[in-house]
A = this chain, B = another copy of it.
């Protein structure tokens, strides 16, 4: 865990920016072979692609408080958390490209990234990962460690039965468990007020007698502060929390989403309030970093991401018959 505030904020900047660069490249890679006519199954990166541009604070400002031994479960939109959690970027990229050097040897794909070295997993079923984090928290407690488990979900997932069962279990057993709700206002095309009977999900903490936190306006600093408290409480055995952060989805639900359901100017307003830019300004203002520092950092990030793509692109595809392996260990 990083204790130094400056270091932490720089770390958060770095992770957010890495995720952003990573996804900007992914947006392009995904469109290869899909032009002029978009075909979801074509190109080097086929299948659904859910990007998290705009949602970076939710991941980085929480995960800065975690170590490799803490567990994170994520969703169909997992890149920003994976990157913050320190998932092997080369293998992750290779997995998304369907290569045999990928995290899952090309079997998982972008929605199914597993890196046990840093205790990261995700999945394509809404709500499905929450109980896994509860189970990890249970294991942490059984082993007598102070490790925590954090489940990241979207605001849409809060209305799944899995959420409720998991939260009750975590609270009942007083587990070191936190759920971060990334409220990006939409569950595909369904607006939050058409899916959720309460305005913010922190109030649902009352149903479990646990702590509920609300972070407004996608604020990386407030998310940092709140997450710190929740993680410390969890480590000390003070029980689970719900953190809901109001965050922004810049892109469609998946790439190729026509977004006809969405007000035309919504995204430009969100983009004008970009959390990475805001953090950068803050770092400069507080003289935690200079323009040169940031530039240097950005260069490093660029290189790291480029290396990952290079690795992925240059890796080999699996043999077709490899499909038959790894069902059982």
- A interface residue numbers (CB < 8 A to B): 159-165, 168, 171-172, 194-198, 203-204, 206-210
Contacts and interface: CB of A to CB of B under 8 A. Distances in A.
17 contacts: A159-B168, A160-B161, A161-B161, A161-B163, A161-B164, A163-B164, A168-B197, A171-B197, A171-B198, A172-B196, A172-B197, A197-B210, A198-B208, A203-B207, A203-B209, A204-B207, A207-B207
Copy number of this protein in the oligomer? Answer: 2
Contacts of A159: 164-165, 168
Contacts of A208: 197-198
A29 to B, nearest CB: 37
Contact of A197 (B161, B163, B209): B209
Contacts of A204: 206-207
Nearest to A170: B197
Contacts of A198: 171, 207-209
B171 A160 contact: no
A204 B208 CA distance: 8
Contacts of A210: 197
Nearest to A163: B164
A138 to B, nearest CB: 14
A207 B209 CA distance: 11
Contacts of A168: 159, 196-197
